[in-house]
Chain A
Amino acid sequence: MSQSNWPLWEVFVRSSRGLSHVHAGSLHAPDAEMAVRNARDLYTRRNEGVSLWVVKSSDIISSDPDEKDAFFESPQGKDYRHATYYKASEGVKHL
């Protein structure tokens, strides 16, 4: 049995309490437990994390890159969703 049977895992690291887990990279491991241990050795050699998530890459569902224009079209042209759209209140304190 060779490494080709080892699934690919995506690694997410929480760098400190109060922050979200952020994608750090990926690795191969035979099972979840080894994936977490390998992730510790590979991505937190310098105190980069206080918590780790690993998830099988094949379990991630993502949006289709070819459809990205259409898929993310809806918020475009809706500037009024941003505070910067409202100019009349410029210069007014605490607003």
Chain B
Amino acid sequence: MAPTTPQEPGLNAVPSYEEEQAQARFDALIDKDSRVEPRDWMPAPYRKTLTRQVSQHAHSEIIGMQPEANWITRAPSLKRKSILMAKVQDEAGHGLYLYSAAETLGTPRDELNEQLLTGRAKYSSIFNYPARSWADMGAIGWLVDGAAIANQVPLCRASYGPYGRAMVRICKEESFHQRQGFEILLSLSRGTEAQKKMAQDAVNRFYEPSLMMFGPPDDQSPNSKQSMAWNIKRFSNDELRQRFVGMIAEQVKVLGLTLPDPELRFDEEKKQWIHKDLNWDEFMAVIKGNGPVNAQRLERRREAHREGAWVREAAAAYAAKQAQSEVA
């Protein structure tokens, strides 16, 4: 008999009959493309992957409020101001839908929040780029929300029920975000020379980061395969990036602007879009916390959390007092 080697606890144990049965039920659900619900048994790595993905997604929505919130006071008209406020409220709402979905996997809200505030959790690297001009509100809506939609539409069919349901709600609301961004750019593009230049500059800065939102190329994305096997992810990073770049290549013509990519073309033979090489070193650096405004974004989030403490305390104290007087 081979000598026993120490392994991680729990991993070397022979699965019990019940575990085998539960695994078989889970596999059958995935096989027939059905949905897994919170109280179903699920393999620990599935739960962990989803908790990470859904909570990172929630954090991204919450941090994503900042670049646009910064522009509310400087929006060029009352109408634009109202639209921007509605959009920022939506991002907050999306964050909350997703936190609720993440919580059904067993991690409490406070812990998820703590992971963000302490900088242990990741969020989409795109929000670590500054929004320098009003045209950036347009580029963010058109390119960043556009890429998010391309990513999120297939997630509506994710195998985990609460995640899919949250995504359905989010996707319905995101389409307004993308259209309003497109309209901002269109107005600027049809405006003065300076306005058109501002629009083009914003598109130039957000083009590459938005393409990188789909994640590393397929051959460098080790977790994708498992996520696809679990029906969480439906298309690979490169497939989604292809789809997106094809859409914006057409849309940019309507805007009367250009994409900052001289190599961009559709290869008729390979039936795919060729775009310039993306700067993945920069992507990794931004993810690791070295983007232009990582520190600023996190500090703003911590500050908002601190400043809201008295509201949370007052609400809890009021609730406790009401509960007491009901008993009395």
Contacts and interface: CB of A to CB of B under 8 A. Distances in A.
Contacts of B57: none
Given A26-B100, A30-B319, A42-B96, 9 more contacts: A1-B317, A3-B312, A4-B109, A25-B169, A31-B319, A34-B315, A45-B89, A62-B39, A65-B40
Contact of B93 (A6, A31, A45, A66): A45
Contacts of B37: 65
Nearest to A30: B319
B166 A25 contact: yes
B315 A25 contact: no
Interface residues of A, number: 21
A2 B312 contact: yes
A10 to B, nearest CB: 10
21 contacts: A1-B312, A1-B313, A1-B317, A2-B110, A2-B312, A3-B109, A3-B312, A8-B103, A25-B97, A25-B100, A25-B169, A27-B100, A30-B316, A31-B315, A31-B318, A31-B319, A31-B323, A41-B89, A42-B93, A46-B173, A65-B39
* Interface secondary structure of A, over-half rule: mixed
Interface of B: 37, 39-41, 86, 89-90, 93, 96-97, 100, 103, 108-110, 113, 165-166, 169, 173, 312-313, 315-319, 322-323
A3 B39 contact: no
Interface of A: 1-6, 8, 25-28, 30-31, 34, 41-42, 45-46, 62, 65-66
Contacts of A30: 315-316, 318-319
Given A26-B100, A42-B96, A4 B89 contact: no
B109 A28 contact: yes
